[in-house]
Structure 1
Amino acid sequence: MPPRPPDYLAVIASPCFSCGVTLVIDMLLLLGVRVDFINHSTRAPHPYWRQRADGRWELSAAGKGHFGFHSKLASKQESFDFPEGRAVLIGHNPAMVRYLAPSTRAVMVVRDPVDAIYSWQRRQNVAASGITFEEYLQQVLYFNVHKPYGIFQSTPLELYALFCAFWLSAAGECHVMGYEDFKAGPEPFVDLMAYLGVPVAAAEVHAAFARVESGSEAPARIEQYQLCNLKGQPREWTQRMAASEHAALLAGPLKQAVYGLLGYSSHATDWAAATQAPGQSYGLISGLMDALGQQLSDERDPVPVHTAMELTLQTFKDEFQRHVPSRTAELYTLPAIEHDCTQAFRAVTRFVREVYTAQDQIPFWRLRNLTLQLTGLIANSAGNPNVRHMVAERLI
């Protein structure tokens, strides 16, 4: 993986469904903020933009092709003025956490999950294959941008929740933009510019919003995506189902913890409770992370990710073997919650080590939050047969 580029103002993440990122991209470009996409294969930013001799920025042919799916403004305007240091990274790839430097803000763009998934289904022409929306909600999916597949492989509503849980856990402080809010008016973009520290007058934001919402900057998507060119609206689910049906779709510990926090479920599960698994294994992991944090932070912070993960995993194996009799060291003989928590921790450890390079360093609190909260969420959702993020294997 190539070296990290200069720090971004923000890393903007969104679940891999239709959450209204198009509007966000056009608004940022109009307000003088360069938008970079992450390459899902290399996990580095696409080199789409180049700066001309006159200081303005233009897109390469490949860049215009990619932006054509998201922004008519970027594909038709010849050049842009982006002041120094005004750039954000945007995408659906969890590897974007690599670019959350201490000074970089975290943003997440969300939408009512039922609406987002229904819009995605239309966009991908799943309906044309004869699969109904209800059938699609039961399919176990993974996306190429979510690797390794072991963690992010589930039914759509749980996949959406897992991604949001991952980003909230990794980011710590996160500015959440709801589609329902920023479709209603420009004020969320005034707030976003303030959060990013970009000095833009509210009147300029209002003018940009009026231009985008007038339809003059509607994306010029290629023909195969014409099915999704319908202009999305908030609360479209009300045209398909009753409130009780919507609530039933968002039921379940993982979904209620995430969607309640985001304001899409009235049956919210306490986030702290949902991200802590019962049992000795979780307590052991938590204690080891605290001890490791004390050890590493005494030396330096941020800490090297791979070193921290290797130390944590090895110490956990040693402590686990010491506390669990050898005859029960096989995971399949453990009580369910101990098995689920142990496997979740191993999956998260592998995931973190794959996302970050051997040279990456991050604040220890971010590593701790990501490891512990995602372990707890995955362990607590392990009883759902649709969530296939754990593989039985020997721990010792």
Structure 2
Amino acid sequence: MLHDKRILLIIGGGIAAYKTLELIRLLRTAGAAVTPVMTRAAAEFVTPLSVSALAGEKVYTDLFDLTDEAEMGHIQLSRVADLIVVAPATADLMAKAAQGLAGDLASTLLLATDTPVLMAPAMNVRMWDHPATQRNLTRLQGDGVTFVGPDVGDMACGEHGPGRLAEPAAILSAIGARLTGGPLAGRHVIVTSGPTHEPIDPVRYIANRSSGAQGTAIARALVRLGADVTFVTGPATVAPPEGVTVKRVETALQMQDAVLAAMPAQAAVFAAAVADWRVATAGAQKMKKTVDGLPALDLVENPDILAAVSAPGPQRPRLVVGFAAETQDVTRLATEKRLRKGCDWIVANDVSDGTGIMGGTENAVTLITADGAEDWPRMGKDAVADRLAQRLAEALA
């Protein structure tokens, strides 16, 4: 799969560094050449001798090594690779890369290259959730860095949550997709994301509580697998991912027009939280309080975009995926919705108070198909997106 590909593997300092030994083995088995770089902290968790033995190449560690500079040079080292992989990508490495710092060999290599970069984060859950790390994540994604993981699970420190290094096999899959075009190369997928804002007057609107984080993660995961993604987004609070065609909309009517204009497509994923109703006639001026009481709002139903695209016809995508955000009887209501809408899959989740899913960083979903209901464990929204994208790729194969 990776024959003649050269990987520059930067190993960060964290307990998860031991997993990079298995990653190197998998890369070599897949035909890739691996040039390892270790931070000083990484050597506290895994020995350079072990890394070198598995990689079959010397380990680079020091920015100011005269022998290394004479033989290769750190600038050249970062440019002869087909892909730079950072695993584990610690909070410190992510921060240095996001800020453009270059105080050691690893951070200098990341700054002195135009080679694509794939990061596999691993850190304590509180470090991952910290606003600073999330800002760095957003900035790196905006710079074109792609990510795999982190997974959700138990930490070495005893805590539980997002922050575990993705499994070596998943990192290998992400590397293959980044280098070979991926299993969705040549496939057009439409993804809707975010809320819609249905105006009441120039300053008020009807909307749903959606950040757009899950739809954005899904689009990003599809791009990693090689898909040509049209990303139709309402006014979300997260930025669109890199590598997609962005169609910005405000209302459900605009979203419907944008989706239909983007057809045909092999698949469509409707992750947007579209408002069910809109005001029949929005006020041209701001509504004011009066002594006559509350103003009457004449509501009408918005178009059912999912049902319209799911309807039989020459332009119907091979796979149509809807979402169902419920607060009770999640599986039953989502199953009924799949049949009612005519779509192939429904991704259902419980967004009731206390779950922290709506607007949060994690999700716990049930995949509803014609074969039944499949409960997925609670995991980060990026991990949910990766899993859904992989299933979509398998379905379209």
TM-score, length-scaled by structure 1: 0.27
Larger radius of gyration: 2
TM-score, length-scaled by structure 2: 0.27
If asked which structure has higher relative contact order (CA below 8 Å, sep 6+), I would say 1
Structure with the larger helix share: 1
